[in-house]
Structure 1
Amino acid sequence: MPYKAKAKDLYISSLFKYNLKYAKSLNPDKVFILSAKYGLIDLEREIEPYDKTLNNMPSEEIKKWADCVIGQLKKEANPEEDEFIFLAGEKYRKYLLPHISKYQIPLEGMKIGEQLQYLKMRCSNE
Protein backbone atom coordinates (compact mmCIF):
# COMPACT_ATOMS: atom_id res chain seq x y z
CA MET A 1 0.00 0.00 0.00
CA PRO A 2 1.45 3.40 -0.96
CA TYR A 3 2.55 5.76 1.79
CA LYS A 4 0.06 8.55 2.59
CA ALA A 5 0.23 11.51 4.93
CA LYS A 6 -1.78 14.59 5.73
CA ALA A 7 -1.13 17.24 3.08
CA LYS A 8 0.10 19.77 5.66
CA ASP A 9 2.77 17.27 6.78
CA LEU A 10 4.10 16.39 3.31
CA TYR A 11 5.33 19.86 2.46
CA ILE A 12 8.49 20.40 4.48
CA SER A 13 10.21 23.52 3.15
CA SER A 14 10.76 26.45 5.51
CA LEU A 15 8.82 28.69 3.12
CA PHE A 16 5.79 26.38 3.21
CA LYS A 17 5.92 26.07 7.01
CA TYR A 18 6.07 29.85 7.49
CA ASN A 19 3.35 30.40 4.88
CA LEU A 20 1.12 27.97 6.75
CA LYS A 21 1.85 29.54 10.12
CA TYR A 22 1.17 33.01 8.70
CA ALA A 23 -2.03 31.83 6.97
CA LYS A 24 -3.35 30.38 10.23
CA SER A 25 -2.44 33.59 12.12
CA LEU A 26 -4.88 35.49 9.89
CA ASN A 27 -7.76 33.43 11.38
CA PRO A 28 -9.28 32.53 8.02
CA ASP A 29 -12.42 30.47 7.58
CA LYS A 30 -10.36 27.88 5.71
CA VAL A 31 -6.79 27.25 4.49
CA PHE A 32 -6.07 25.27 1.34
CA ILE A 33 -2.94 24.07 -0.40
CA LEU A 34 -2.59 24.52 -4.15
CA SER A 35 -1.08 21.26 -5.37
CA ALA A 36 0.23 20.69 -8.90
CA LYS A 37 -0.96 17.08 -8.69
CA TYR A 38 -4.15 17.27 -6.63
CA GLY A 39 -5.37 20.84 -7.23
CA LEU A 40 -7.08 22.42 -4.23
CA ILE A 41 -6.50 20.32 -1.12
CA ASP A 42 -7.52 20.53 2.49
CA LEU A 43 -4.67 20.55 5.04
CA GLU A 44 -5.94 17.34 6.64
CA ARG A 45 -6.51 15.38 3.42
CA GLU A 46 -4.35 12.29 3.16
CA ILE A 47 -2.38 12.19 -0.06
CA GLU A 48 0.52 10.26 -1.50
CA PRO A 49 3.86 12.05 -1.89
CA TYR A 50 4.53 13.35 -5.38
CA ASP A 51 7.11 15.22 -7.39
CA LYS A 52 5.21 17.60 -9.67
CA THR A 53 5.27 21.37 -10.01
CA LEU A 54 3.68 23.96 -12.26
CA ASN A 55 7.04 25.68 -12.66
CA ASN A 56 8.02 23.71 -15.77
CA MET A 57 4.54 23.04 -17.21
CA PRO A 58 3.38 24.59 -20.47
CA SER A 59 0.79 27.39 -20.14
CA GLU A 60 -2.01 25.28 -21.66
CA GLU A 61 -1.52 22.58 -19.02
CA ILE A 62 -1.48 25.19 -16.25
CA LYS A 63 -4.74 26.67 -17.61
CA LYS A 64 -6.38 23.22 -17.46
CA TRP A 65 -5.10 22.78 -13.90
CA ALA A 66 -6.48 26.23 -12.95
CA ASP A 67 -9.90 25.39 -14.43
CA CYS A 68 -9.97 22.24 -12.30
CA VAL A 69 -8.95 24.21 -9.19
CA ILE A 70 -11.69 26.79 -9.79
CA GLY A 71 -14.21 23.95 -10.02
CA GLN A 72 -12.94 22.57 -6.70
CA LEU A 73 -12.96 26.04 -5.15
CA LYS A 74 -16.59 26.66 -6.11
CA LYS A 75 -17.53 23.64 -3.98
CA GLU A 76 -15.83 25.22 -0.95
CA ALA A 77 -16.35 28.97 -1.33
CA ASN A 78 -17.83 31.72 -3.48
CA PRO A 79 -15.13 33.16 -5.80
CA GLU A 80 -17.29 36.22 -6.51
CA GLU A 81 -18.00 37.16 -2.88
CA ASP A 82 -15.41 35.60 -0.56
CA GLU A 83 -11.98 37.14 -0.03
CA PHE A 84 -8.89 35.05 -0.71
CA ILE A 85 -5.29 35.53 0.38
CA PHE A 86 -2.76 33.93 -1.94
CA LEU A 87 0.60 32.93 -0.52
CA ALA A 88 1.39 30.79 -3.57
CA GLY A 89 3.75 31.75 -6.36
CA GLU A 90 2.75 33.57 -9.53
CA LYS A 91 2.47 30.41 -11.66
CA TYR A 92 0.01 28.95 -9.16
CA ARG A 93 -2.27 31.99 -9.06
CA LYS A 94 -2.00 33.54 -12.55
CA TYR A 95 -4.94 31.72 -14.14
CA LEU A 96 -6.98 31.59 -10.90
CA LEU A 97 -7.13 35.34 -10.27
CA PRO A 98 -9.40 36.22 -13.24
CA HIS A 99 -12.10 34.02 -11.61
CA ILE A 100 -11.82 35.60 -8.15
CA SER A 101 -13.24 39.02 -7.29
CA LYS A 102 -11.57 39.82 -3.96
CA TYR A 103 -8.04 38.78 -3.16
CA GLN A 104 -4.76 39.84 -1.59
CA ILE A 105 -1.22 38.76 -2.49
CA PRO A 106 0.94 39.90 0.45
CA LEU A 107 4.16 38.31 -0.89
CA GLU A 108 3.79 39.55 -4.47
CA GLY A 109 7.07 40.60 -6.08
CA MET A 110 9.25 39.33 -3.23
CA LYS A 111 12.16 36.93 -3.71
CA ILE A 112 12.15 33.80 -1.55
CA GLY A 113 14.53 35.29 1.04
CA GLU A 114 12.34 38.41 1.29
CA GLN A 115 9.24 36.24 1.67
CA LEU A 116 10.84 34.28 4.50
CA GLN A 117 11.90 37.49 6.26
CA TYR A 118 8.38 38.97 5.90
CA LEU A 119 6.75 35.77 7.19
CA LYS A 120 9.19 35.34 10.09
CA MET A 121 8.55 38.91 11.24
CA ARG A 122 4.79 38.39 11.17
CA CYS A 123 4.93 35.00 12.87
CA SER A 124 7.45 35.90 15.58
CA ASN A 125 4.72 36.76 18.09
CA GLU A 126 3.17 33.29 17.91
Structure 2
Amino acid sequence: MISCVSKKMNKRTKAKEMYQSPLFKHSLEYAERLNRDKIFILSAHYGLLTLNTEIKPYDMTISNVSKKNRERKPQLKVLTKDEKVIWGQKILLELSNISDLKKDKFIVLAGLEYINSIINFLVNIEQPLKGVGLFDRISYLKKLKDEI
Protein backbone atom coordinates (compact mmCIF):
# COMPACT_ATOMS: atom_id res chain seq x y z
CA MET A 1 0.00 0.00 0.00
CA ILE A 2 1.33 3.37 -1.06
CA SER A 3 -0.03 6.69 0.19
CA CYS A 4 -1.30 9.30 -2.22
CA VAL A 5 0.54 12.61 -2.58
CA SER A 6 -0.43 16.22 -3.15
CA LYS A 7 1.24 16.62 -6.54
CA LYS A 8 -1.29 15.34 -9.06
CA MET A 9 -2.15 15.48 -12.76
CA ASN A 10 -4.89 17.99 -13.55
CA LYS A 11 -7.12 15.58 -15.47
CA ARG A 12 -8.94 12.30 -15.00
CA THR A 13 -6.52 9.37 -15.29
CA LYS A 14 -5.51 6.04 -13.78
CA ALA A 15 -4.51 6.24 -10.13
CA LYS A 16 -0.97 5.06 -10.85
CA GLU A 17 -0.55 8.02 -13.23
CA MET A 18 -2.37 10.62 -11.12
CA TYR A 19 0.27 11.04 -8.45
CA GLN A 20 3.34 12.87 -9.70
CA SER A 21 5.78 13.30 -6.83
CA PRO A 22 9.20 11.60 -6.91
CA LEU A 23 8.36 9.91 -3.59
CA PHE A 24 5.23 8.31 -5.04
CA LYS A 25 7.03 7.23 -8.21
CA HIS A 26 9.89 5.61 -6.28
CA SER A 27 7.41 3.95 -3.90
CA LEU A 28 5.49 2.52 -6.84
CA GLU A 29 8.67 1.29 -8.54
CA TYR A 30 9.77 -0.40 -5.32
CA ALA A 31 6.35 -2.02 -4.84
CA GLU A 32 6.36 -3.27 -8.44
CA ARG A 33 9.85 -4.76 -8.02
CA LEU A 34 8.64 -6.70 -4.98
CA ASN A 35 6.32 -8.52 -7.40
CA ARG A 36 3.46 -8.81 -4.90
CA ASP A 37 -0.04 -10.00 -5.73
CA LYS A 38 -1.66 -6.60 -5.38
CA ILE A 39 -0.60 -2.98 -5.06
CA PHE A 40 -3.00 -0.42 -3.63
CA ILE A 41 -2.92 3.33 -3.18
CA LEU A 42 -4.27 4.85 0.02
CA SER A 43 -6.17 7.91 -1.17
CA ALA A 44 -7.41 10.52 1.27
CA HIS A 45 -10.37 11.19 -1.03
CA TYR A 46 -11.17 7.86 -2.67
CA GLY A 47 -10.00 5.36 -0.05
CA LEU A 48 -8.36 2.16 -1.31
CA LEU A 49 -7.47 2.33 -5.00
CA THR A 50 -6.14 -0.19 -7.47
CA LEU A 51 -3.47 1.15 -9.78
CA ASN A 52 -5.78 1.20 -12.79
CA THR A 53 -8.80 2.81 -11.13
CA GLU A 54 -9.74 5.97 -13.05
CA ILE A 55 -9.97 9.00 -10.76
CA LYS A 56 -10.28 12.76 -10.97
CA PRO A 57 -7.85 15.14 -9.27
CA TYR A 58 -8.72 16.26 -5.76
CA ASP A 59 -7.32 18.39 -2.98
CA MET A 60 -7.59 16.44 0.27
CA THR A 61 -5.10 15.03 2.75
CA ILE A 62 -4.90 12.98 5.90
CA SER A 63 -1.51 14.46 6.76
CA ASN A 64 -1.11 17.25 9.25
CA VAL A 65 -0.78 20.58 7.46
CA SER A 66 0.66 23.72 8.99
CA LYS A 67 -1.48 26.83 9.31
CA LYS A 68 0.85 28.60 6.86
CA ASN A 69 0.34 25.89 4.22
CA ARG A 70 -3.42 25.91 4.79
CA GLU A 71 -3.46 29.66 4.18
CA ARG A 72 -1.50 29.18 0.96
CA LYS A 73 -3.90 26.49 -0.20
CA PRO A 74 -7.37 27.39 1.15
CA GLN A 75 -9.13 24.82 -1.10
CA LEU A 76 -7.22 21.95 0.59
CA LYS A 77 -9.44 19.73 2.71
CA VAL A 78 -7.56 18.32 5.72
CA LEU A 79 -9.36 15.44 7.40
CA THR A 80 -10.25 15.93 11.05
CA LYS A 81 -9.42 13.36 13.72
CA ASP A 82 -12.96 11.89 13.49
CA GLU A 83 -12.82 11.85 9.67
CA LYS A 84 -9.50 9.99 9.84
CA VAL A 85 -11.11 7.29 11.99
CA ILE A 86 -13.99 6.94 9.49
CA TRP A 87 -11.49 6.87 6.61
CA GLY A 88 -9.54 4.09 8.36
CA GLN A 89 -12.72 2.06 8.89
CA LYS A 90 -13.53 2.43 5.18
CA ILE A 91 -10.03 1.25 4.20
CA LEU A 92 -10.30 -1.77 6.51
CA LEU A 93 -13.71 -2.68 5.11
CA GLU A 94 -12.43 -2.42 1.54
CA LEU A 95 -9.33 -4.48 2.42
CA SER A 96 -11.39 -7.14 4.21
CA ASN A 97 -13.49 -7.60 1.05
CA ILE A 98 -10.43 -8.53 -1.01
CA SER A 99 -7.92 -9.92 1.48
CA ASP A 100 -7.49 -11.66 4.82
CA LEU A 101 -6.54 -9.01 7.40
CA LYS A 102 -5.14 -11.65 9.74
CA LYS A 103 -3.18 -13.82 7.30
CA ASP A 104 -2.12 -11.67 4.36
CA LYS A 105 1.11 -9.71 4.48
CA PHE A 106 0.76 -5.95 3.99
CA ILE A 107 3.76 -3.88 2.97
CA VAL A 108 3.01 -0.24 3.68
CA LEU A 109 4.84 2.66 2.07
CA ALA A 110 3.01 5.48 3.80
CA GLY A 111 3.45 8.00 6.55
CA LEU A 112 2.03 7.56 10.03
CA GLU A 113 -1.06 9.65 9.37
CA TYR A 114 -2.06 7.25 6.61
CA ILE A 115 -1.62 4.10 8.65
CA ASN A 116 -2.44 5.14 12.23
CA SER A 117 -6.12 4.26 11.88
CA ILE A 118 -5.52 0.85 10.28
CA ILE A 119 -2.24 -0.51 11.67
CA ASN A 120 -3.76 -2.18 14.74
CA PHE A 121 -6.06 -4.27 12.56
CA LEU A 122 -3.40 -5.65 10.22
CA VAL A 123 -1.62 -8.61 11.82
CA ASN A 124 1.18 -9.16 9.31
CA ILE A 125 2.51 -5.73 8.40
CA GLU A 126 5.88 -4.57 7.13
CA GLN A 127 6.86 -0.90 7.01
CA PRO A 128 10.13 -0.49 5.08
CA LEU A 129 10.04 3.30 5.56
CA LYS A 130 9.35 3.23 9.29
CA GLY A 131 11.71 5.60 11.05
CA VAL A 132 13.00 7.08 7.78
CA GLY A 133 12.53 10.85 7.66
CA LEU A 134 10.43 12.36 4.90
CA PHE A 135 13.44 13.94 3.17
CA ASP A 136 15.41 10.67 3.27
CA ARG A 137 12.71 8.41 1.86
CA ILE A 138 13.58 8.76 -1.82
CA SER A 139 17.24 7.88 -1.35
CA TYR A 140 16.24 5.02 0.96
CA LEU A 141 13.77 3.68 -1.62
CA LYS A 142 16.49 3.83 -4.29
CA LYS A 143 18.71 1.74 -2.00
CA LEU A 144 15.90 -0.76 -1.37
CA LYS A 145 15.20 -1.06 -5.11
CA ASP A 146 18.89 -1.76 -5.79
CA GLU A 147 18.84 -4.57 -3.22
CA ILE A 148 16.04 -6.46 -4.96
TM-score (norm 1): 0.93
Per the TM alignment, residue 55 of structure 1 is displaced from its structure 2 partner at its CA by: 1.4
Q: Percent identity?
A: 38
Unaligned runs of 5+ in 2: 1-10, 65-78
Structure 2 partner of 1:24: 32
SS class of match (2:103): coil
Give 4+ residue runs of structure 1 displaced > 4 Å after superposition: none
Q: Which residues of 2 match residues 52-67 of structure 1 at below 5 A?
A: 52-56=60-64, 57-67=79-89
- The one-letter code matched in structure 2 to 1:28 is R
Match of 1:7 among 11, 15, 18: 15
SS class of match (2:23): helix
Per the TM alignment, residue 122 of structure 1 is displaced from its structure 2 partner at its CA by: 2.5
- The one-letter code matched in structure 2 to 1:111 is G
SS class of match (2:132): coil
CA distance in 2, matches of 1:69, 1:125: 30
Match of 1:51 among 59, 82, 85: 59
Structure 2 partner of 1:105: 127
Unaligned runs of 5+ in 1: none
CA distance in 2, matches of 1:82, 1:97: 13
Per the TM alignment, residue 63 of structure 1 is displaced from its structure 2 partner at its CA by: 0.4
Residue 34 of structure 1 pairs with residue 56 of structure 2: no
The alignment's C-alpha RMSD in Å is 1.6
- The one-letter code matched in structure 1 to 2:15 is A
Instruction: Give the count of matched residue pairs.
Output: 125
Structure 1 partner of 2:108: 86
Per the TM alignment, residue 114 of structure 1 is displaced from its structure 2 partner at its CA by: 1.5
TM-score (norm 2): 0.80
After superposition, the C-alpha distances for 1:30-79 in whole angstroms (9 at most, x for unaligned) are 00000000000000000011111001422211000000010111111111
CA distance in 2, matches of 1:99, 1:122: 26
